[in-house]
Copies of this chain bind each other. A is one copy, B any other.
Amino acid sequence: MLQIDYKSGVSICDQVVNGFIRLIAMKVINTGDSLPSVRSMASNLSVNPNTIQKAYAILEEKGVIYSIKGKGSFVADSEKTNEAIIKNETNNLKQAILSAYQIGYKKEDITEIINAIYKKEE
Q: Given that A93-B96, A96-B92, A117-B98 are contacting pairs, would A103 and B21 also be in contact in the complex, using a CB cutoff of 8 Å? A: yes
**A90 proximal to B (CB < 8 A):** yes
Q: Given that A7-B68, A66-B9, A114-B110 are contacting pairs, would A97 and B93 also be in contact in the complex, using a CB cutoff of 8 Å? A: yes
Rounded to whole angstroms, the CA-CA distance of A74 and B7 in the bound complex is 9
User: Distance (Å) between the CB of A2 and the closest chain B CB?
Assistant: 14
Q: Which residues of B contact A96 (CB under 8 A)?
A: 92-93, 95-97
Dominant SS among interface residues on chain A: helix
What residues make up the interface of A, taking CB atoms closer than 8 Å to B?
Answer: 6-7, 9, 11, 21-22, 25-26, 66, 68-69, 71, 74, 76, 85, 89-90, 92-105, 107, 110-111, 113-115, 117-118, 121
Q: Which residues of B contact A107 (CB under 8 A)?
A: 114-115, 118
Q: Which residues of B contact A89 (CB under 8 A)?
A: 99-100, 103, 105
Q: Which residues of B contact A93 (CB under 8 A)?
A: 96-97, 100, 110, 113
Residue of B whose beta carbon sits closest to that of A121: B101
Whether A7 contacts B104 by the Cβ 8 Å rule is: no
Whether A22 contacts B103 by the Cβ 8 Å rule is: yes
